[in-house]
A and B are shown apart, each in its own frame.
Chain A
């Protein structure tokens, strides 16, 4: 039976010890990934309990948004629907995963208050729960992606393995932002509002609804937008394009630094989080 048969908790013994304890929490959580997965599935099914379409409701509303924005903007920009609609569809679906993971990250620890204050479950389990839940949601939205790619004939040029690598980078980066938002939200109740505003802002400054080449000489500004790189790494290969090498470099660096910083913060205030809730 996979339960903790030995538990040791001690007072602070210096920063190195705090890192070891944080690493132990991480290890314990990876040993129980199936629990995080079950909790994530439970979240998805309980949110849509009793509805006929279940999680496909968000898929449907996303599909409508894709259709609306796709058709209207294609006319506004004067771009062929064939080029534009797939761009918007993939943009909305994958940006949805990023913003879902990040904004729901704010509730990661707050919603787990009950369990965290009376069990020794690893805290990382709840981080995985949020990430897995968004992956499950993405699984439902893939219907849109597959449908659009087939309908507009992109399936012939789509490079799925490369897109999958991009998706790993996307999740890796959305993951640490989500966890950081979770820690910050536990301490400061203003953070969820701030995160929401930032993500709302981000959807407009990231080429979700508009083609990159429209930026012209301002393109360099976009290079600083992390969400642009996260999105490009998945969307470009699916539309038959190629991803610039510096995008991977940017994403890898961001993931390494981001997780490093997040883990360091977690290690330092891990024992306080339960008291924040």
Chain B
């Protein structure tokens, strides 16, 4: 069976965040505004922050895109838009292929449930069927190295053990488009090596990687393209070898 082409494309992508203060969330304030007829002037519209403005890019299979930029420059927002969670205000995002957002490892982890249950839950959320989770269970369980602890509630785990579980469950998916906010490094030294290998394998299998990071060396290591974001404005996608020029610009 021939795999369908994997691609990511954004055209004039613009994302604005309405800022709903605690005040704006109160119904009383909302009603009060109506009764005074907006005379205070500031009642029209919510304050909006433009997180990404007019971003266009094309990625195809084999592309490993690194995102750099200061805090609040729109990297994570872009990743969330690529994951399909955030809807563009203008323009479009189109992704062909199975998306695996590894943005928050703790997603869907229920501390009172056992390790096995959490693996199952996480797998289901990631789009696996019940049967597929069953098939992978042994492999995931073995990878966590948690053995009999998997039958115990996750809240009894140490932070490192929880990270192992979350990592193993989150990376058990097969993906064409991998989204990552910082390169994931979890657990003790020994586990970090294993985790690193597993992540690399996942990246190799995936057609496209989008990795946001502040570490230039890391980007040089894993990416072949780079895009710099500043205040929601993105530079053109450039070759990783021109990273220094991009940073100097």
From A158-166, A247-255, A267-275, give the one contacting chain B: A267-275
Q: How many angstroms from the CA of A190 to the CA of B27 in the assembled complex?
A: 6
Q: Are B85 and A6 in contact, CB atoms less than 8 angstroms apart?
A: no
Interface hits, B168-218 → A, CB 8 Å: 174, 176
Contact B30 A11 (CB under 8 A): no
Contacting residues of chain B (111-128) with chain A, CB-CB under 8 angstroms: 112-113, 117, 121, 124-125, 127-128
Residue A11 contacts which of B85, B88, B99, B130 (CB distance < 8 angstroms)? B88
**Does A8 sit at the interface, judged by CB under 8 A?**
yes
| Contacting residue for A115 out of B18, B110, B125, CB 8 A | B125
Q: How far, in angstroms, from A275 to B129 measured CA to CA in the complex?
A: 29
B27 near A119 (CB under 8 angstroms)? no
A9 close to B93 (CB less than 8 A): yes
Give chain B nearest CB distance to A130 CB in angstroms. Answer: 16
The docked-state distance in angstroms from the alpha carbon of A214 to that of B30 is 42
Q: Within residues 1 to 46 of chain B, which ones have a CB less than 8 A from any CB in chain A?
A: 4, 14, 17-18, 20, 25-28, 30
Give the chain A neighbours of B110 by CB distance below 8 A: 42, 46
Is B132 touching A1 in the complex (CB atoms < 8 A)?
yes
> Could you tell me the distance between the alpha carbons of A190 and B117 in the complex, rounded to whole angstroms?
34
A61 within 8 A of B: no
Q: How large is the interface on B (under 10, 10 to 19, 20 to 34, 35 or more residues)?
A: 35 or more
Q: Name the residue of chain A whose CB is nearest to the CB of B120.
A: A38
B97: interface (CB < 8 Å) = yes
A156 contacts the other chain (Cβ, under 8 Å)?
Answer: no
B246 to chain A, nearest CB (A): 27
CB-CB nearest in chain A for B175: A3
Cβ-based interface call for A57 (8 A):
no
How many interface contacts (CB-CB < 8 Å) are there between A and B?
125
A3:B98 contact, CB within 8 angstroms: yes
On whether A8 and B104 interact (CB within 8 A), knowing A2-B127, A34-B130, A35-B124, the answer reads: no
The distance in angstroms between the C-alpha atoms of A271 and B101, with both chains bound, is 19
B92 near A7 (CB under 8 angstroms)?
Answer: no
Q: Is the CB of A188 within 8 A of B18?
A: no
CA–CA, A35 and B124, complex, Å: 7
Q: Do A118 and B30 touch (CB < 8 A)? A: no
A117 vs B76: C-alpha distance when bound (angstroms): 11
> How many whole Å from B188's CB to the nearest CB in chain A?
27
Q: Please report which residues of chain A, range 102-159, place their CB below 8 angstroms from some CB of chain B when the two chains form the complex.
A: 114-121
Enumerate B65-95 residues with CB–CB distance to A below 8 Å. Answer: 80-81, 83-95
Q: Are A5 and B97 in contact (CB under 8 A)?
A: yes
Once the chains are docked, how many angstroms separate the CA of A191 from the CA of B95?
36
Give the complex CA separation of A39 and B124 in angstroms: 9
A32 to B26, CA, bound (A): 34
Give, as a whole number of angstroms, the nearest-CB distance from B43 to chain A: 16
Name the A residues within 8 Å of B85 (CB-CB): 116-120, 274
The 3 closest A-B pairs by CB, nearest first: A120-B84, A271-B87, A3-B127
Residues of B within 8 A of A (CB): 4, 14, 17-18, 20, 25-28, 30, 80-81, 83-99, 101, 103-104, 106-108, 110, 112-113, 117, 121, 124-125, 127-130, 132, 153, 174, 176
Give 26 CB contacts A-B under 8 Å. A1-B129, A2-B127, A5-B96, A5-B98, A7-B93, A9-B92, A9-B94, A11-B90, A38-B121, A42-B121, A46-B112, A49-B113, A115-B107, A117-B85, A118-B80, A118-B85, A118-B103, A119-B84, A119-B85, A119-B101, A119-B107, A120-B84, A188-B30, A271-B87, A276-B20, A276-B25
